Structure 1
Amino acid sequence: MVVIGRERGDGPTGRLGHYRARDGSPGAAVDVDLNRPHAGLVVGKRGAGKTHTLGVLLEGLAAADGVAPVVADPMGAFGPLADAGIGRVEPPRVSADALGPRAWCSLLGLAPESGAGALVWRAASEAETLAGMRERVADCDAAAAARRAAANHLDLAAAWGVFDADGLTATDLCDGDATVLSLSGLDRAPANAVLAAVAGALYGGRVAGAVDRLPWLLVDEAHAFTDGVAGRPLRRLLTRGRRPGVSCWLATQRPSALPDVAVSQADLLVAHRLTSERDVAALRGARPTYLDALDERLPTETGAALVVDDATETVHHVRVRERRTPDGGASPRAVDGDGGCR
């Protein structure tokens, strides 16, 4: 058995799959190190197996000691896992003060130097709850137009239904075997707000010593978050999460849409089939040492993956194993393979 992500040592691992033999038969077992924090990236075109791979990783984490996996699920692909005993938060709610003043302005599309933006900035600096922010704006001494604009934007945020004074904490997120954050019913802005708060809570919880287990944040469809208010906290996990012990894994069909740091900081890269030259070039540019022949080496079959392990400076050709829990990421079919209806 080979353990990707470490050269030596012991501790928990999760079964990723098996080596791909040339004749199509499974080779030696391949596990992933779960004992240390990792920054990971899972890429591949639609239907190539990205979400399936995240689910495989989640299964291993949920069964391991000392870790606390949290999954951001924007497409509802992890819903069936609730039937397998994995906790699901729907809808997830976070506290307003989990976002800083700059994030609030960005979230609401307000320039900080504008009248309305300045009021929101001040309210976010002074109040701990969204209700408190709205009261600050209503009672402030400012131009009526600026107060009205700021109040309207905060009313919109309240209508999203994701802010609560008793929102999720690091302790809540790290309490069970695993937590799935259901974001599929949320628009882009509120989903980004939730993920930004969660990423910040996990990082802050470890820095403050509030949680003993090592959090693993898994983000599906990551390109929908890295250019929003969640982008900054995610980049912090990728660049600084290792020291406090927070892992961050991003999955996307568009690696070219991610910031450079998301690719360059990943010590583990799982690449499924990619056909876009722009996406292939994004990986090749960040991993030239390993991927000089990337065009020829990328898998062409669903479920197959090229794994780049920067920790051991090795490349592995792997077939990801079948899931033990229901796979909600698979595309629905009108007729299944043997002619029966699904």
Structure 2
Amino acid sequence: MTHVLGRRDPPDEEPPENASTGRLGTYRARDGSPGAAVRIDLDGPHAGLVVGKRGYGKSYTLGVLAEELACAEGVAPVVADPMGIFGSLAALGTDIVADPAVAADALAPRAWCDLLGLAPSSSAGALVWQAATARSSLAGMRTFVADADTKAERATRRAADNHLALAESWGVFDPDGLTASDLLDAPAGVVLDLAGLDAAPANAVLRAVAGGLYDRCVGGRPTRLPWLLIDEAHAFFEGVADPALRAALTRGRQPGLSLVAATQRPSALPAVAVSQADLLLAHRLTSRADLDALAEARPTYLGSLEERLPTDTGEVLLVDDATESVHAVRIRERETGHGGGSPSASEL
């Protein structure tokens, strides 16, 4: 018997023939031996959270999910890869986008103020807001700011342009940058390789991507449902991408957008990231702050989280809110390999 987790129907019933599911692993028996096969629902939208301390399989599990999504029908995975460890998905036909760029107008005027650290009520912030409203490209925004006819004082124009010049130096804004349609049309999904970017430009790309996918779903149901997978998610919930990620978590499932966040620091995520997750995959955790963050937001049927968490690499406690059940699972081996291990001096 194969069990499908994350479905509203009983997990031990066979799913409809055309329903997408992914091979996650096997149940973990009390003696440590593998039990029945476990699959995860990919047919409907989900909000997922993968947590675990470094070295216990958090990113590996995210990679397994990405592999299954890349091979499933009707879904479009988009992986935000800040560590550069998901390139092996290219073996499945996934597009690996190095140095991803987005159009400047993919960010709303308010987002430009947030990105540049300018208060919208400040003179420079107000000018950047006006520029983002009036122009669709970063070059056009700088031209707008430099326009001699503007009523802004020279010092204000200089300050605004200095901030826009910094954004231009990041190299992540391009009029022909990625769009939601580009991401949805990739047959086996897309990996956004953000490893070479600092926090601000990486956040800018992800805010544009998350916002674009959400808007695309709200504007009309796409032919393939997007899944946004984010590794090291705390770095983005702490940055300018936060508003778009919160919207995806709290409002994304209804129009068809799934979001799965992976982090070794659940205590650094907003409470909504934990409470909104209908699928929680928890590897080993030892930090009291991280344990408390999960325990405070999880339902009563979970019981004592600390006592139930696994201790070995590759094992996960899966909390399925759809059926209000908890499962001990061993994650299957990756098909495309994993680039997340730490280097060893003895292997050099």
Task: Report SS of the residue matched to 1:166.
Answer: coil
TM superposition shift of 1:70: 0.2
The answer for the alignment partner of 1:166 in structure 2 is 176
**CA, structure 1 residues 281+81, in 2 after alignment: closer, same or farther (shift >3 Å)?**
same
Percent identity, please.
67
The answer for the alignment partner of 1:240 in structure 2 is 251
Alignment match of 1:262 (pick from 254, 257, 273) = 273
The answer for the alignment partner of 1:334 in structure 2 is 345
How many Å separate the matches in 1 of 2:208 and 2:61? 25
The answer for the alignment partner of 1:72 in structure 2 is 80
Q: Provide the aligned length of Structure 1 versus Structure 2.
A: 337
> Is 2:275 the partner of 1:274?
no
- 185-194 vs 138-147, which moves further: 138-147
- Which residues of structure 2 form unaligned runs of 5+? 10-14
How many Å separate the matches in 1 of 2:93 and 2:219? 29
TM superposition shift of 1:84: 4.3
**CA, structure 1 residues 210+305, in 2 after alignment: closer, same or farther (shift >3 Å)?**
closer
How many Å separate the matches in 2 of 1:327 and 1:15? 17
The answer for the alignment partner of 1:63 in structure 2 is 71
How many Å separate the matches in 2 of 1:296 and 1:218? 28
Moved over 6 A (4+): none
The answer for the alignment partner of 1:135 in structure 2 is 143
Structure-1-length-normalised TM-score: 0.96
How many Å separate the matches in 1 of 2:99 and 2:136? 21
How many Å separate the matches in 2 of 1:333 and 1:308? 34
The answer for the alignment partner of 2:201 in structure 1 is 190
The answer for the alignment partner of 1:180 in structure 2 is 191
Task: Report SS of the residue matched to 1:202.
Answer: helix
Question: Retained in 2: the 8 A contact 1:170–1:211?
Answer: no
Structure-2-length-normalised TM-score: 0.94
How many Å separate the matches in 2 of 1:83 and 1:76? 15
The answer for the alignment partner of 1:118 in structure 2 is 126
Partner AA of 1:154 in structure 2 = L
> Is 2:156 the partner of 1:155?
no
Question: Retained in 2: the 8 A contact 1:206–1:212?
Answer: no
Deviations 1:79-117 (A, max 9, x none): 232244321111111011111111101100111111111
Deviations 1:252-273 (A, max 9, x none): 0000110111000000000000
Task: Report SS of the residue matched to 1:225.
Answer: helix
Deviations 1:219-261 (A, max 9, x none): 0000000121111111111111111100000000000110111
The answer for the alignment partner of 2:101 in structure 1 is 93
Partner AA of 1:170 in structure 2 = A
TM superposition shift of 1:138: 0.4
The answer for the alignment partner of 2:313 in structure 1 is 302
> Is 2:15 the partner of 1:5?
no
TM superposition shift of 1:210: 7.0
- Which residues of structure 1 form unaligned runs of 5+? 336-340
How many Å separate the matches in 2 of 1:88 and 1:12? 24
TM superposition shift of 1:287: 0.6
The answer for the alignment partner of 1:293 in structure 2 is 304
Task: Report SS of the residue matched to 1:161.
Answer: coil
How many Å separate the matches in 2 of 1:153 and 1:260? 32
Task: Report SS of the residue matched to 1:249.
Answer: strand
How many Å separate the matches in 1 of 2:138 and 2:299? 47
TM superposition shift of 1:206: 1.6
Partner AA of 2:255 in structure 1 = P
How many Å separate the matches in 2 of 1:131 and 1:210? 33
Task: Report SS of the residue matched to 1:77.
Answer: coil
The answer for the alignment partner of 1:24 in structure 2 is 32
How many Å separate the matches in 2 of 1:330 and 1:19? 25
How many Å separate the matches in 1 of 2:299 and 2:209? 33
How many Å separate the matches in 2 of 1:282 and 1:197? 28
- The CA RMSD over aligned residues, in Å, is 1.2
The answer for the alignment partner of 1:314 in structure 2 is 325
Question: Retained in 2: the 8 A contact 1:171–1:210?
Answer: no
Task: Report SS of the residue matched to 2:133.
Answer: helix
The answer for the alignment partner of 1:205 in structure 2 is 216
Question: Retained in 2: the 8 A contact 1:171–1:211?
Answer: no
